Amino acid sequence: MSSTTLSIPTPDGQSDAFAAYPGEGGTHPGVLLYPDAFGPRPVLWDMARELADHGYYVLVPNIFYRHRPAPVFDLPEHITAEHRPELFGQIMPLIEAYTAERALSDAGAYLDFLTARPEVGAGPVATIGYCMGAVLAMRTATAHPDRVAAIAGFHPGALVTDQPDSPHRQIPRLTAKVHLGLAEGDMTPEAITEISQAFDAAGVEYGCEIYPGTVHGFTMSDTEAFDSAGSRRHWERLLTLLGSTLKS
């Protein structure tokens, strides 16, 4: 497995990024991995390496590049509930500044960059994301349906809102296969019903699953939300999805 840091040209500047990919040469299916609200950091880079070990080229962009390079925040080694108020005082202004318009502008640049890498094979890619990254994965896929074959979102952010640009309202454009892995309490029953109905109406193949015993953030081993059983299930579902869409 090989890994490197990169700089991605965007309409607003240069986004720093991390990439991991198999080291034996050749080309591999591409995966665009969006981070959670804590941003790109070692745990995300380790997850990218894990995916690379399964045969994928994984690109992890710094969505907060307009503010500072990754790691964006001065995070403790292990994030607990006691750390969150102070951390989110720093994080929320950056999240609020990352509008849907900026996300879509970046998404096109990230896809262009990923698919142009010499290590990435021809054909559609996957977008995956954690927390707010799940929203970005969905926005990317609905804006570029011909370029994305799979979406995975784990402990997702607000996929169903009452806003006109809510991600679930863009699902009629979607062609990708989808897996949503929810912590208990991530989405209300009403929101799950609404997004499921949108998938059904669009004829999208999808799974929307609540992972038992988990809390929001259960995949992130550098937080107290981490759940080993939930993490294992996440890897099983993710690898099955990618194998059925990118390697078929």
Structural domain harbouring 141: 2-245
Q: How many domains, the chain?
A: 1
The DSSP result for 18-29, as a single string, is: EEEE-SS-S-B-
Please state the φ and ψ torsions of residue 10, each to the nearest 5 degrees: -130, 170
Phi-psi region of 165 (alpha: psi -120 to 50; beta: other; left: phi over 0): alpha
Q: Within 13 Å, how many C-alpha atoms sit on residue 166's CB side?
A: 13
CATH number for position 71 = 3.40.50.1820
The candidate with the shortest Cα–Cα distance to 177, out of 125, 222, 132, 228, is 125
| Alpha helix segments (H runs only) across 54-207 | 84-97, 100-116, 132-143, 189-202
- Residues 168 and 113: their CA atoms lie apart, in Å, by 26
Query: Terminal CA-to-CA distance of the chain, rounded, Å?
Result: 22
Q: What is the pLDDT of residue 63?
A: 98
Rg (CA), the chain: 17
User: Rounded to two decimals, what is the model's pTM?
Assistant: 0.97
Averaged over successive runs of 10 residues, the pLDDT of the chain (248 residues) comes to 97 98 94 98 98 98 97 95 94 96 98 98 97 98 98 97 96 98 97 98 98 98 98 98 90
pLDDT, position 109: 98
